[in-house]
């Protein structure tokens, strides 16, 4: 049992290694990218310099999928995949994210306490960086969504061929960082995949308001992936100590987006321009 787990771990490491072979063609900076950054809402110039040298994923075959009805979504369960990423894989992913030198943004008033950002979001799909720098992770995430859809019987046909990455986000929270609403959901997406990179030692719990009105706190350890119907209510309780870092990927029935925000146009051209 243990050796099988180790084998799987090695396979995951190997897969991320393949990712690591994608050359960025740029200098790697090792700072967190956060110190000294004043974040003032969604209006900063993304500092990204991605050299497009990796193959694009083959275009998916599109089948029309509808996001789940919001009431029905509340009756679905969160699907947890323990140890989706090894510790070594997490290290490499975080390192690569930092090397991309993306501009972190805040998205709402609660993300800023005093004049300090306590919750920053970096859009990894900006200028196609997610597909180009994390191709293996990207396909594993879509396969995992398909696995959850099958296991939990969410009912989407051909989901693997019918969804694309709407957004891939890197979230960093400090003390008091939170996603406070009890009825927050990812409007317009099919499935959301969260991957824990670094849990906070206190607080920062992933919770869902269940159909019976109870708030459910989900076990979510470093390397775990939680997969859920995007229209299911979810929140993050305030971080009480330390930092919390997660990856969030929303999959939708739409174009794979490369504009540096959470896009709301599944099929049309997007006129978002980086400020």
Question: Which residues form the interface with Zn ion (CB under 5 A)?
Answer: 259, 263, 270, 272
Backbone CA torsion sign across 198, 237, 178, 259: positive
Q: Judged by CB, which is closer to Zn ion: 206, or 252?
A: 252
Q: Judged by CB, which is closer to Zn ion: 223, or 254?
A: 254
Shortest separation between residue 262's beta carbon and Zn ion, angstroms: 8
Q: Judged by CB, which is closer to Zn ion: 249, or 259?
A: 259
CA 31 to chain centre: 21
Q: Judged by CB, which is closer to Zn ion: 226, or 263?
A: 263
Q: Judged by CB, which is closer to Zn ion: 62, or 272?
A: 272
CA–CA distance, 231 with 71 (Å, rounded to integer): 9
Shortest separation between residue 263's beta carbon and Zn ion, angstroms: 3
Strands (E), the chain: 79-81, 112-113, 116-117, 119-123, 164-173, 191-198, 202-203, 206-209, 215-217, 225-229, 235-236, 239-241, 244-252
Place of tokens 């900006």: 126
Shortest separation between residue 20's beta carbon and Zn ion, angstroms: 29
Return the SS3 of 181.
coil
Q: How many beta carbons lie within 10 A of that of residue 9, not counting itself?
A: 17
Shortest separation between residue 201's beta carbon and Zn ion, angstroms: 36
Shortest separation between residue 18's beta carbon and Zn ion, angstroms: 29
DSSP state of 105: B
């Amino acid at each position: 049992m243990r050796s099988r787990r180790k084998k799987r771990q090695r396979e995951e490491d190997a897969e991320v290694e393949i990712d690591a072979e994608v050359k960025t063609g740029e200098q790697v900076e090792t700072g967190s990218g956060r110190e000294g950054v004043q974040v003032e809402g969604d209006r900063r110039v993304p500092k990204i310099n991605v050299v497009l040298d990796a193959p694009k994923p083959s275009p998916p075959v599109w089948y029309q999928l509808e996001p789940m009805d919001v009431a029905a979504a509340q009756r679905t369960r969160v699907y947890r995949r323990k140890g989706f990423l090894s510790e070594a894989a997490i290290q490499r992913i975080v390192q690569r994210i930092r090397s991309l030198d993306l501009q972190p943004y805040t998205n709402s008033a609660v993300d800023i306490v005093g004049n300090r950002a306590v919750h920053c979001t970096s859009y990894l799909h900006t200028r196609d960086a997610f597909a180009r720098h994390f191709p293996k992770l990207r396909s594993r995430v879509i396969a995992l969504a398909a696995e959850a859809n099958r296991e939990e019987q969410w009912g989407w046909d051909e989901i693997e061929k019918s969804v694309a990455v709407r957004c891939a986000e890197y979230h960093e929270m400090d003390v008091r960082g939170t996603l406070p609403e009890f009825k927050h959901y990812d409007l317009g997406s099919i499935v959301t995949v969260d991957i824990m990179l670094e849990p906070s030692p206190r607080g920062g719990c992933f919770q869902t308001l269940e159909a019976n009105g109870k708030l459910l706190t989900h076990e979510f350890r470093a390397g775990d992936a939680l997969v859920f119907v995007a229209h299911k209510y979810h929140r993050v309780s305030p971080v009480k100590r330390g930092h919390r870092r997660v990856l969030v990927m929303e999959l939708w029935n739409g174009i794979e987006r490369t504009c540096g925000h959470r896009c709301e146009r599944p099929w049309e051209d997007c006129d978002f321009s980086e400020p």
